Amino acid sequence: MKYNSVFDIIGPVMIGPSSSHTAGAARIGKAARNLLGSEPSFAKIHLYESFAKTYKGHGTDFALAGGLLGFETDDPRMSKALEIAKERGLSIEFIEDTSAVSHPNTARLIIGNEENQIELVGISIGGGKVEITELNGFELRLSGNHPAILVTHNDRFGAIASVATILSKHKINIGHMEVNRKDLGKEALMVIETDQNVGEDVMDELNKAQNIIQVSMIAS
Amino acid sequence: MFRTVAELVEIAENENILISEVMIRQEMDVKERTREDIFADMERNLQVMEKAIEDSLKGVKSVTGLTGGDAVKIQEYMKEKTPLSGNLLLDAVSKAMGTNEVNAAMGTICATPTAGSAGVVPGTLFAVKNQLNPTREQMIRYLFTAGAFGFVVANNAFISGAAGGCQAEVGSAGAMASAAIVEMAGGTPQQSAEAFAMTLKNMLGLVCDPVAGLVEVPCVKRNAGGSALAIVSADMALAGVTSRIPCDEVIGAMYRIGKTMPSALRETGEGGLADTPTGRLLKEKIFGSLA
C-alpha cells in the first residue's frame, strides 16, 4: 500500500501552502541530499506538469532548495531557503520541462559537489508523501516508508551475497529488495529496504566489500 | 490491515471498538510503537491546528493579498447578528477558512489530508467541540477517525488535486470530518461510513482550478463549503439516513472521475476559475511577465 501510517494522512506539520508542492518538494530535496551524502554545491532541477506550471505560487522552488539544505517540512526558514542556499554556496537552476511524464508532480534533480554527482527523479504523490522513481538511470521505487540502503555495484556473481552476508552478520532484516542493471556485466543497483536504520559501521563495511562501488542510505 | 471502509467498519463492529481505536491499534502494530508515543504525536498535530486557528482569528493576509481576513469577518458577523445557517456551522466555516488563510500566508499548519484542504478537519473539530464538550482524548480520537477514512481513500484513490482534482482534497477532507463528527457525537461506525459517503457524493467531480496556481482562490472558500457539508452529512447520518451507494463504491467513483479529469483541471492553474477573465488578470498582476 502506498500509505501505511495515519500520520501520512493527518500530517505532516508543515509550512504552507501546498502539501504536494511544498512539503513533498522539500522531502524530495532532502532525499536527494541524503542520497548524495553531503551538501550539494549545484542543483539543476527539471520540473514537469503541475510542478512546472505552478511552482512559483506554491513555493516548490524554495521547498526543493530547503530540502537540499536538509530542512524538515516545518522548518521556519523554509520560505527563505533560496536566499540561504545562495549564502551557503549552493547554486540552483530551475527548468520548466515540457517532456511527458507519468505523474503530474514530477521533478528531476541533478545535484552534486566536487566529490560526487547524482541524478534522480522524485514524484510527490499527495499529502506530502513522495517516491523516488529513478536514480542515476536506474528505475526504482523508493517509498521512504522504511529505511533503505542503496548499493551501486558491479554486476558480478557474489556481489549480492556479500551485501546480504554483512547485513545478516549485523542482524539487519531485509524487508524488500530489488536489483536493477543497465547492461549485463556493467553497473547495477541494489535497493534494500530494512526494518531498522543502519549504522555507520555497517555502511563502512558495505563500502569495502568486493565489487561494491558506492553505498548510500535513507533513514526513516 | 484494513483496505476498505467495509473492512474498517467490520473490525470496529466485531471487536466492539471505535473506528479511532482500530486506527490506533493498526498504527501501533505496523509501526511497532506504543500507544503513548502515537497519542503524543497526534497531540502535537492537534496543537498545531489549534495554534493556526488562533493565529487566523487575529487576522492574516497572504503575500499576494488574495486571501486573509475572512475568518475574522465571519466571527464578527456571528457576534453582531444571528446567522441564518446557525452558529455551530458558521463557526466551523470560519475556523476552516482561517486555517487555510494561515496556510496561504505560509504559516504552519497540519496537512489533513493535504495543505490545500487543511482547514476542514480542524475547523469542524473546534466548532463541534463547543457543543459536544469532548475530552482532550476524544479530540485526539477525532483525528484518528478522520485519518482512518483518509487512509482508505489515499490507498484506493488519491488525495491530491494534481492527481484527482479538488474532490480528492476537500472532498476527502470533508468526508473524513463527517465520519469523525459522527463518532464524537456517539454515532456507530456504520453511521460514520454513511456520513463519509454522503459528503463525498456531494463533492464528486469537483475540479482543482487554483487562480495563478496558488493555494488561495478558490481553496479557502472550498474549505468553507467542505466543512459545512461535513456537518450536514454527519447530522443526516445520525438521523438514520443512509447512502444508497456504499462508501467504498463512492470512493471508487471518485477515483474513476479523477482519472478522466483533464490535466487543465488538476492543479495546473490552466482551466476552470483560473481560466476566467478575472482569474487570468489576477495571475498577470501577481506574476507580471514572469508567468
* A-B C-beta contacts closer than 8 Å: 182
Give the pLDDT of residue B242: 98
How far away is chain A from the Cα of B147, in angstroms, using its nearest Cα? 5
Paired residues of B210 in beta bridges: none
8 A C-beta contact, residue B207 and residue B266? yes
**pLDDT grade for A220, boundaries at 50, 70 and 90:** low
Give the pLDDT of residue A37: 85
Chain A residue whose CA is closest to B172 = A9
Name B80's Cβ contacts closer than 8 Å, sequence gap at least 6.
none
State the Cα–Cα distance between residues B37 and B4, nearest whole angstrom.
26
Q: What is the dihedral of CA B131, B226, B170, B74, to 10 degrees?
A: -80
Q: Do A3 and B48 touch (CB under 8 A)?
A: no
Query: Measuring CA to CA, how many Å separate B285 from each of B64, B273, B282?
Result: 9, 16, 5
Q: Which three cell numbers stand for residue A16?
A: 504552507
Phi, psi (deg, nearest 5) at residue A190: -100, 130
Which amino acid, residue B277?
A: P
Tell me the pTM.
0.91
- B62, B64, B90, B66: which is closest to B76 by C-alpha? B90
CA atoms within 13 A on the CB side of A87: 7
Give the pLDDT of residue A2: 86
Burial of B163 (0-12, 13-18, 19+ CB in 10 A): buried
Give the pLDDT of residue A184: 81
State the Cα–Cα distance between residues B132 and B283, nearest whole angstrom.
43
Mean pLDDT of A7-35: 94
8 A C-beta contact, residue A191 and residue A172? no
Domains in chain A: boundaries:
6-142, 148-218
Q: Do B213 and A105 touch (CB under 8 A)?
A: no
- A165, A217, A179: which is closest to A196 by C-alpha? A217
Question: Of B159, B167, B220, which to mutate for an interface test with A (greatest number of A Cβ within 10 Å)?
Answer: B159
Mean pLDDT of A132-152: 88
Q: Which of A48-62, A136-150, B158-172, B238-252 has the lowest mean pLDDT?
A: A136-150
Structural domain that includes position B172: 5-290
**pLDDT grade for A217, boundaries at 50, 70 and 90:** confident
Q: Three-state SS for A59?
A: coil
* Phi-psi label, residue A94: left if phi above 0, alpha if psi -120 to 50, beta otherwise: beta
Q: Three-state SS for A197?
A: coil
8 A C-beta contact, residue A169 and residue A199? no
The percentage of residues in chain A with a pLDDT greater than 90, rounded to a whole number, is: 74
Domains identified in chain B, total number: 1
One of 3.40.50.1220, 3.40.50.2300, 3.30.70.260, 3.40.50.2000 is the CATH number of A148-218, namely 3.30.70.260
- Average pLDDT, 10 consecutive residues per value, chain B (291 residues): 97 98 96 95 98 96 94 98 97 98 96 97 98 98 98 97 96 98 98 98 97 94 98 98 98 98 94 97 79 42
How far away is chain B from the Cα of A22, in angstroms, using its nearest Cα? 9
How far away is chain B from the Cα of A187, in angstroms, using its nearest Cα? 34
8 A C-beta contact, residue B115 and residue A18? yes
How far away is chain B from the Cα of A1, in angstroms, using its nearest Cα? 6
Measured at the CA of A142, the angle between CA B4 and CA A214, to 5 degrees, comes to: 160
Angle at which helices A49-58 and A60-68 cross, to 10°: 90
Domain at A6-142, CATH class:
alpha beta
Paired residues of B266 in beta bridges: B208
Q: What is the dihedral of CA B272, B276, B281, B282, to 10 degrees?
A: -40
Measured at the CA of A30, the angle between CA A29 and CA A31, to 5 degrees, comes to: 95
CATH of the domain at B165: 1.10.4100
Q: What is the dihedral of CA A13, A15, A17, A18, to 10 degrees?
A: -50
Q: Do A19 and B111 touch (CB under 8 A)?
A: yes
Which amino acid, residue B251?
A: I
Q: Which of B105, B107, B114 sits opposite A127 (nearest CB)?
A: B114
Q: Do A58 and B215 touch (CB under 8 A)?
A: yes
Q: Which of A6, A53, A125 sits opposite B23 (nearest CB)?
A: A6
Q: Do A16 and B147 touch (CB under 8 A)?
A: no
Q: Which three cell numbers stand for residue A135?
A: 536514480
How far away is chain B from the Cα of A33, in angstroms, using its nearest Cα? 24
Reported ipTM:
0.96
How far away is chain B from the Cα of A145, in angstroms, using its nearest Cα? 10
Q: Do B108 and A23 touch (CB under 8 A)?
A: no
Mean pLDDT of A200-210: 92
A56 CB neighbours in chain B (<8 A) are: 213, 287, 290-291
Q: Which of B3, B42, B154 sits opposite A8 (nearest CB)?
A: B154
State the Cα–Cα distance between residues A174 and A165, nearest whole angstrom.
11
Give the pLDDT of residue A57: 80
Q: Which of B30, B104, B176 sits opposite A16 (nearest CB)?
A: B104
Q: Three-state SS for A126?
A: strand
Give the pLDDT of residue B32: 87
B121 CB neighbours in chain A (<8 A) are: 10
Q: Cβ of B58: how many Cβ atoms within 10 Å?
A: 9
Question: Of B63, B106, B169, B289, which to mutate for an interface test with A (greatest number of A Cβ within 10 Å)?
Answer: B106
